[in-house]
């Protein structure tokens, strides 16, 4: 089939595009052209690459038509963040594609209540990003129910893998936390370190998109989580990372208001976003309907990213 991937050179596309090519599909990669894939792969030599400024083209009303004119069987949208953008694209593709797959986020759920959280739980997003993604999901799945638009929504957790910084055991992106654990230095966590994070390897997200393409009837009109099968507490995560470096974690704890004053405003903001959600999402639906099961645990996914940071010299292995 002819498959168009919008946002092809990012975290997910780095793994998804080669998988699509290896499966025999004719792949068109649409991106801003400002970044190379995180990992090189010979499959990219067999991809048609198109450079597009989505924001500008949406503003002048040409983006949806441009994608539709590529005459794809399947369109995968990895970088839509507004309901208006989703509406424009879906309208342009109506009657012209076999499948439309949108990348959402587990942030549509808001804070976890009953865990593991399943896809059918009430949407209670607490930030603008989650609210927009929930609105996109509601629109696309309503279109699927009302008029058969072949939409599927996949909601990843904290995407990780070689080439970028994973969410750390303090709930932010500061690599100094990993360095401190590698050094055996004390790391202070917010509250009691019992909030949760739930990573997913970018290749597992790519695999779920592939499984949705392979099972279009089961995938149509559905949303699926894409996370490791278990979540991690901040405390358990920190202990595991220290162990990778032959250390025993030295952990301290502070109430949130005290803890936030010990880090930068940006790190505090990112940490709060993660601990306020404390995600723990289920993967049963993807396995039941699509036969999909993640290959990586949370720690295995993070370990690949941390190994890459060590090789890049960002984290120094001492002793």
Decide if domain 2-159+199-226 falls under CATH 3.90.550.10.
Answer: no
Q: Is the pLDDT of residue 199 over 90?
A: yes
CA distance 188 to 211: 41
Phi, psi for 47 (deg, rounded to 5): -110, 140
Architecture per CATH, domain 165-198+230-279+297-311, reads as Alpha-Beta Complex (3.90)
Q: What is the mean pLDDT of residues 215-244?
A: 98
Q: What does the pLDDT read at residue 38?
A: 72
The pLDDT value given to residue 34: 67
The long-range contacts involving 295-299, CB below 8 angstroms and separated by at least 24 positions, are: 295/201, 295/203, 295/204, 295/207, 296/200, 296/201, 296/203, 296/204, 296/228, 297/228, 297/229, 297/230, 298/197, 298/198, 298/199, 298/200, 298/228, 298/230, 298/231, 298/232, 298/237, 299/232, 299/237, 299/240
CATH 3.90.25 domain locations along the chain: 165-198+230-279+297-311
Which residue intervals of the chain bear CATH 3.40.50.720? 2-159+199-226
| DSSP assigned state of 68 | H
**Tell me: the pLDDT tens digits for 137-195?**
999 999 999 999 999 999 999 999 999 999 999 999 999 999 999 999 999 999 999 99
- pLDDT tens profile 100-132: 999 999 999 999 889 999 999 999 999 999 999
C-alpha closest to that of 156 among 216, 108, 211, 218: 108
Indicate the pTM of the whole model: 0.97
Mean per-residue pLDDT, 229-256: 98
| Summary mean pLDDT of the chain | 96
β-bridge mates for residue 276, sequence order: none
């Amino acid at each position: 089939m002819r498959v168009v991937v919008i946002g092809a050179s990012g975290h997910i596309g780095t793994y998804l595009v080669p998988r699509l090519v290896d499966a025999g599909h004719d792949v068109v990669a649409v991106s801003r052209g400002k970044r190379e894939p995180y990992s090189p792969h010979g499959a990219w030599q067999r991809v048609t690459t198109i450079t597009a400024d989505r924001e500008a083209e949406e503003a002048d009303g040409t983006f949806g038509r441009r994608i539709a004119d590529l005459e794809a069987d399947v369109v995968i949208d990895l970088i839509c963040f507004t309901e208006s953008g989703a509406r424009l694209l879906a309208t342009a593709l109506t009657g012209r594609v076999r499948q439309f797959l949108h990348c959402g986020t587990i942030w549509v759920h808001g804070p976890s209540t009953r865990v593991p959280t399943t896809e059918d739980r009430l949407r209670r997003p607490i930030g603008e990003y989650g609210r927009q993604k929930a609105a996109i999901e509601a629109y696309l799945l309503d279109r699927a129910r009302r008029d058969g638009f072949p939409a599927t929504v996949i909601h990843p957790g904290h995407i990780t893998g070689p080439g970028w910084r994973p969410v750390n055991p303090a709930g932010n992106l500061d690599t100094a936390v990993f360095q401190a654990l590698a050094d055996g230095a004390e790391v202070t966590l917010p509250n009691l370190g019992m909030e949760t994070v739930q990573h997913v390897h970018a290749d597992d997200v790519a695999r779920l998109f592939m499984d949705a393409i392979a099972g279009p009837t089961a995938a149509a009109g559905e949303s699926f989580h894409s996370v490791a099968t278990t979540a991690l507490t901040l405390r358990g995560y920190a202990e595991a990372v220290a162990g990778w470096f032959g250390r025993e974690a030295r952990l301290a704890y502070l109430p949130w208001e005290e803890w936030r004053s010990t880090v930068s405003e940006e790190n505090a903001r990112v940490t709060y976003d993660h601990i306020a959600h404390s995600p723990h999402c289920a993967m049963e639906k993807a396995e039941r309907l699509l036969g999909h099961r993640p290959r990586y645990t949370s720690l295995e996914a993070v370990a690949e990213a941390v190994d890459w940071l060590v090789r890049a010299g960002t984290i120094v292995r001492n002793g």
